[in-house]
A and B are shown apart, each in its own frame.
Chain A
């Protein structure tokens, strides 16, 4: 049991192989259920491309799994602000995702100005800034400015939501 867990550690990439496999299977299943009426004008039909793509995904899934089991690893992407010496910091990422999801849920209800403020303020907090007042002011300013900028500059009316009468 313990050895199995140890073996699995560092092989989380198998999850990616599984994802590729599942996606390949879905594409294949979806492709096979299409009708292909034989017609002179379209001998290839709508199925061919999905089948090619599904095969590619499935082959990649199998090869990737083999590769990972044999000890291969993808190289994580570097960058100016990326420090790969520590593992993924979920305490930053999860709140960040939370702010994002909150915005998705709220945007059509309370409007962009409020949900956008929450999004920016929440993200800044998640990323480690603790200057609540300054962050809040910047968030509100950004949300309001983009709301009017889109409306006046581009003619795109973002939802005003709760503030419909005010803005």
Chain B
């Protein structure tokens, strides 16, 4: 087994005392930022990028790996103890997790989340080891036309499938592609979007852009809407589980992993759909369905495992194809570029030591997380009480410091400010951040592939679909783009399908904090409180506007026997027909 040998070598690299220390620091930092409100793993990696310039790339990535998994773990702690999921991936965890915490079973909820994360992360990483080399083998045979097609697929999929408004997603993508254009044209050496400003000629530093969008934009946005009376945290002791908890958790862990990994590996899978599917499945299979909505442990174990397995799945296209599909992976990819490492299928050939040490450190980080975090949970809970002025000032302070340290020029801080304001506006008007970052990173690579493809065909445009794989991928792209029409046609021609499988009833009326509503599955918010319906999908949320309390489209409407995923999308279309 070639992969196993390489993995063993990876362990040898990752297990040196220094690298173990970095893994440890990464796990601690990752969990801390995952727990802290307002900071996600993507922002953490972005903020740390400048600090790692002096480090060996391998050590830096070992630390990033720790942050990546640590952030996932920390997020679940917040959603269980605070009931305000910070990221979309932990929304489902909060439903049952917070109920358990309120019922005095916070320790068990945290324990099943932690152990489930460990199980799912370990299996997911093992699957990564198994699949990544296969994907690489397939990918190195791809020519430029196919590679271009795959990049287009990733961009379109992330933009059109995730998020609630496709139009706003594409606007964000356009912004990212535009930022990616700044600098010298790689082939003719002409300046593009430089405006005679010599400091722009080298292009915008990806680190500065990432810090601006993730850290400055976020801090300003939160500052504008800072909650003045912080939410109550439920105190917790050391997590533990009883025998019956184990018995009820282990199957959901495995099933959640099975949902999570493939979705994470897809170009636009994300963690929302698999966590949701896992929740619905567990509810159906549970012997205690009546507990759902009142703190059922299966409802924490399954989605948490799905979340972490999807995080591992995301790394498959990231490492094997150089295609990031979530924000943290995108920033990590930016780090590769920063170190002058070419991401993509050749990564495994050119930097085997780095890649396998990174994968090995995922196993190590995952184990460290379990060992460190079970005893430290009470401490993490205390972190939630950090005074907010310090927290958000700190983010601005370190964002400034990091962006300045890259080139030691105040000009970068002006860029930071301008793009930070852009990040603010994007959050205000619901433009998703991910398409922007992906456009920025993948745009230049798409252009390169485009030019190489047509170079091969001597300018004949049919060179773009000269490879069968490219054709297949473009068909997928067309399907994704045409999906709303397909769904519409489906509904029109099969109106009489029996409403046998209405998934909406599976979700309990949830008191989850409004942030739930900004996902596709936000519908259950509309379900439980008419007054909240306005929050749904951010409809009349602008306070300047008279709030029309109950939009009819928001509340539950019976939908014929579609799969939950379909329903998500079709309902989305329905709600947002005015919003495209």
Residues of A within 8 A of B (CB): 9-10, 12-13, 16, 19-20, 23-24, 26-27, 30-31, 34-35, 37, 40-46, 48-50, 52-53, 56-57, 60-61, 63-64, 67, 70-90, 92-93, 96-97, 99-101, 103-105, 107-108, 112, 116, 119-120, 123-124, 126-129, 135, 138, 142, 146, 150, 153-159
12 further A-B contacts with Cβ under 8 Å, apart from A75-B517, A83-B228, A86-B543, are: A13-B429, A31-B192, A49-B177, A50-B192, A53-B178, A53-B181, A67-B578, A80-B37, A84-B514, A96-B223, A116-B397, A150-B401
Contact check: which of B167, B171, B227, B427 meets A77 at CB < 8 Å?
A: B427
Contact flags B32-56 to A (C-beta < 8 A → 1, else 0): 0000011000000000000101100
CA gap between A20 and B222 in the complex, in Å: 24
Contact check: which of A24, A26, A61, A84 meets B535 at CB < 8 Å?
A: A84
Given contacts A60-B171, A64-B167, whether A73 and B540 have CB atoms under 8 Å apart is yes
CA gap between A100 and B576 in the complex, in Å: 37
| Chain B residues, CB < 8 A from A92 | 223-224, 226
Given contacts A72-B580, A80-B86, whether A53 and B517 have CB atoms under 8 Å apart is no
| Chain A residues, CB < 8 A from B287 | none
Contact check: which of A10, A76, A127 meets B389 at CB < 8 Å?
A: A127
B579 located at the interface, meaning its Cβ lies under 8 Å from any Cβ of chain A in the complex = yes
For this complex, 7 residue pairs linking A to B, each with C-beta atoms less than 8 Å apart, are A10-B544, A12-B544, A43-B455, A81-B37, A101-B417, A129-B389, A129-B390
B230 located at the interface, meaning its Cβ lies under 8 Å from any Cβ of chain A in the complex = yes
Cβ of B225 and Cβ of A88 under 8 Å apart? yes
Contact check: which of B190, B226, B397, B579 meets A35 at CB < 8 Å?
A: B190
Cβ of B413 and Cβ of A107 under 8 Å apart? yes
Counting chain A CB atoms within 10 Å of each CB, the highest count among B178, B458, B514 belongs to: B178
CA gap between A105 and B411 in the complex, in Å: 10
Cβ of A23 and Cβ of B388 under 8 Å apart? no
Cβ of A60 and Cβ of B170 under 8 Å apart? yes
Residues of B within 8 A of A (CB): 37-38, 51, 53-54, 78, 82, 84-86, 164-165, 167-168, 170-171, 173-175, 177-178, 181, 185, 187-188, 190, 192-193, 195, 220-228, 230-231, 387-390, 392-394, 396-397, 400-401, 404-405, 408, 410, 413-414, 417, 425, 427-431, 443, 446-447, 450-451, 454-455, 458-459, 513-515, 517-518, 535, 537-545, 576, 578-580
Cβ of A89 and Cβ of B224 under 8 Å apart? yes
Counting chain B CB atoms within 10 Å of each CB, the highest count among A13, A43, A60, A74 belongs to: A74
Contact check: which of A20, A129, A146 meets B171 at CB < 8 Å?
A: A20
Cβ of A57 and Cβ of B178 under 8 Å apart? yes
Cβ of A46 and Cβ of B192 under 8 Å apart? yes
CA gap between A16 and B86 in the complex, in Å: 26
Quote the shortest CB–CB distance from B212 to chain A (angstroms).
11
Quote the shortest CB–CB distance from A163 to chain B (angstroms).
17
CA gap between A98 and B298 in the complex, in Å: 49
CA gap between A80 and B313 in the complex, in Å: 26
Contact check: which of B38, B417, B545 meets A9 at CB < 8 Å?
A: B545
| Chain B residues, CB < 8 A from A93 | 220, 223-224
Q: CB-nearest residue of chain B relative to A35?
A: B190
CA gap between A149 and B41 in the complex, in Å: 23
Quote the shortest CB–CB distance from B81 to chain A (angstroms).
11
The dominant DSSP class at the B interface is helix
Cβ of A156 and Cβ of B190 under 8 Å apart? no
Cβ of A49 and Cβ of B181 under 8 Å apart? yes
| Chain A residues, CB < 8 A from B195 | 30
CA gap between A51 and B386 in the complex, in Å: 48
| Chain A residues, CB < 8 A from B394 | 120, 142
Contact check: which of B51, B223, B451, B545 meets A154 at CB < 8 Å?
A: B51
Given contacts A34-B190, A101-B417, whether A49 and B427 have CB atoms under 8 Å apart is no
Quote the shortest CB–CB distance from A119 to chain B (angstroms).
6
Given contacts A43-B455, A74-B430, whether A80 and B224 have CB atoms under 8 Å apart is no
Cβ of A80 and Cβ of B537 under 8 Å apart? no
Q: CB-nearest residue of chain B relative to A66?
A: B580
CA gap between A48 and B152 in the complex, in Å: 16
Cβ of B410 and Cβ of A40 under 8 Å apart? no
| Chain B residues, CB < 8 A from A12 | 542, 544
CA gap between A57 and B580 in the complex, in Å: 16
CA gap between A19 and B396 in the complex, in Å: 25
Cβ of B413 and Cβ of A82 under 8 Å apart? no
Cβ of A158 and Cβ of B408 under 8 Å apart? yes
Cβ of B188 and Cβ of A46 under 8 Å apart? yes
Cβ of A75 and Cβ of B537 under 8 Å apart? yes
Cβ of A104 and Cβ of B414 under 8 Å apart? yes
Contact check: which of B223, B451, B458 meets A40 at CB < 8 Å?
A: B458
Q: CB-nearest residue of chain A relative to B412?
A: A104
Q: CB-nearest residue of chain B relative to A103?
A: B400
Counting chain B CB atoms within 10 Å of each CB, the highest count among A9, A50, A70 belongs to: A50
